[in-house]
């Protein structure tokens, strides 16, 4: 098992190289003169050329990439083209915010979707089932920024229970987490429901019922546990997506996470920052997938046996 985990962690290196390679080239080749954007107003031809030369932007892209990678292996992600600050410290200060928000959102999401999914499955075709599915559909159809704004207007403006944005105090995370949580609910609910529906007619469930196991245990211990594999997969995927930074939600709530940072950097062609945020995203996503795979092993002993 340990060997398996270590091997998976080693895979992160080629992942990071591949991702940075592709992103570096795409951003470098996209139109827009970096030096001109950095200087802004008042840029003269001479100052643009001078800055371009100073930043080494006239070198072939592969050379620039080589420079970046050689610094990256020492842990230096470079300095932001826009602000001149260290990319690593910027990301280090903003990533925890995204992490906090993501974790809380997933908890909210799972807290809503698993019960709804299970109830919908066990009481299939009942009114609860239809209501649950419609709610899930509404959840995924609402644009997150609209829903976020609605929450702000109702709970921050009209009722004053929560701040309308920012990251001050524990109350400021609630509204953005609910916004994001609701958006993820739909897919998790549907998968929970459909995998429960697959599990419930199985023979071993009938056996358990016949044995006299009480209803709750049948559902929770015997059925749910088996239905968890696909469900955890989707939870992992949703978590990974949220980790990339729920940009719209972060913008609406002025939440200082890396999603906003990533988009702002792309707009400014701030290559070191773009690469930094994307590396964090790629690594984060890979680790989440790894955790999901490890969880499989604990849920299903058959899978554990396969992990050599």
Partner 1 sequence: MSRKIISMLLVAILVLSLLAGCGSKDLEQPAGGNEPTGGQQSGGDKQETVAKGNEQIVVALEADITSLDPQGHNDVMSEKVSFLVFNRLFRLNEDFEAIPDLAEDWSQPSDKEWLLKIKEGVNFHNGEEMTAEDVKFSMERSIESPKVQHVLEQLEKVEVVDKYTVKVTTKDVFAPFINTLVHAGISVLPKDYVESNPDWANKPIGSGQYKFVEWVSGDKIVLEKNEDYYDKGEVGVADKIVFRVIPEGTSRTIALETGEVDVVVSLEAMDAPKVRDNSDLTLYEKPSTNFSYLGMNTQKAPFNDKKFRQAMNYAIDKEAILAIALDGEGVIATSMTSDALLGHVASDYDYDPDRALELLKESGKEGISIEIWASGDVRKRVAEIAQANLLDIGISSEIKMYEWGAFIDATNSGSQPMFTLGWDSNPDVDATLTPQFTTGSIGAQNRAQYSSDKVDRLIAEGRAELDNVKRKEIYEEIYRTLNDDAPWVPLYIENKIVGARAGLKEVKLNSQGLIDLHKLHY
By the criterion CB under 8 A, which residues form the site for partner 1? 30-33, 35-45, 47-48, 50-51, 54, 82-85, 90, 93-94, 145, 149, 152-153, 156-157, 160-169, 171-172, 251-254, 256-257, 260-261, 263-264, 267-269
Number of Cβ within a 10 Å radius of residue 116: 24
Which residue, 36 or 205, has its beta carbon nearer to partner 1? 36
Give the shortest CB-153-to-partner 1 separation in angstroms. 7
Separation between Cα atoms, residue 124 and residue 227, nearest integer Å: 16
Give the shortest CB-53-to-partner 1 separation in angstroms. 11
Which residue, 36 or 69, has its beta carbon nearer to partner 1? 36
C-alpha distance from residue 97 to each of 44, 50, 180, 239, 253 (Å)? 39, 37, 14, 14, 12
Task: Decide: helix, strand or coil at residue 167.
Answer: coil
Number of Cβ within a 10 Å radius of residue 70: 10
Give the shortest CB-97-to-partner 1 separation in angstroms. 8
Which residue, 55 or 104, has its beta carbon nearer to partner 1? 55
Per the CB < 8 A criterion, the answer to whether 126 and 232 are in contact is: no
Which residue, 97 or 226, has its beta carbon nearer to partner 1? 97
Which residue, 132 or 165, has its beta carbon nearer to partner 1? 165
Give the shortest CB-152-to-partner 1 separation in angstroms. 6
Label residue 120 left, alpha or beta by phi (over 0 means left) and psi (-120 to 50 means alpha). alpha
Give the shortest CB-250-to-partner 1 separation in angstroms. 9
Give the shortest CB-219-to-partner 1 separation in angstroms. 32
Per the CB < 8 A criterion, the answer to whether 237 and 191 are in contact is: no
Which residue, 70 or 83, has its beta carbon nearer to partner 1? 83
Separation between Cα atoms, residue 140 and residue 182, nearest integer Å: 8
Task: Decide: helix, strand or coil at residue 86.
Answer: strand
Residues 6+ apart with CB under 8 A from 17: 69
């Amino acid at each position: 098992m340990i060997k398996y985990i270590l091997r998976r962690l080693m895979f992160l290196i080629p992942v990071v190289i591949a991702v940075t390679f592709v992103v570096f080239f795409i951003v470098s080749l996209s139109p827009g003169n970096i030096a001109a954007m950095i200087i802004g107003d008042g840029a003269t031809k001479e100052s643009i050329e001078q800055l371009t030369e100073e930043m080494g932007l006239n070198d072939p892209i592969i050379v620039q990439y080589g420079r970046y990678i050689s610094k990256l292996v020492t842990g230096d992600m470079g300095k932001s083209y826009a602000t001149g600050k260290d990319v690593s410290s910027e990301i280090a200060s903003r990533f925890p915010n995204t992490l906090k928000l993501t974790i809380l959102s997933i908890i909210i999401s799972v807290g809503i979707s698993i019960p709804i999914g299970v109830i919908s499955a066990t009481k299939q075709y009942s009114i609860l089932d239809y209501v649950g599915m419609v709610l899930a559909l509404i959840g995924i159809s609402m644009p997150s920024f609209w829903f976020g704004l609605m929450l702000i207007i109702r709970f921050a403006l009209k009722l004053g229970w929560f701040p309308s944005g920012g990251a001050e105090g524990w109350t400021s995370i609630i509204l953005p987490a609910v916004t994001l949580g609701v958006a993820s609910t739909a897919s998790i609910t549907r998968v929970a429901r459909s995998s429960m529906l697959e599990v419930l007619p199985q023979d071993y469930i009938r056996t358990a019922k016949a044995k006299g196991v009480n209803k709750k245990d049948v559902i929770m211990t015997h059925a749910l546990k088996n239905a968890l594999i696909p469900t955890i997969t989707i939870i992992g995927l949703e978590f990974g997506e949220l980790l990339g930074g729920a940009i719209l939600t972060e913008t609406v709530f002025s939440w200082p996470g890396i999603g906003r940072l990533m988009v702002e950097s792309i707009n400014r062609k701030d290559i070191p920052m773009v690469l930094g945020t994307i590396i964090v995203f790629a690594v984060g996503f890979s680790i989440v997938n790894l955790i999901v795979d490890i969880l499989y092993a604990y849920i299903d002993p058959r899978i554990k046996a396969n992990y050599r």
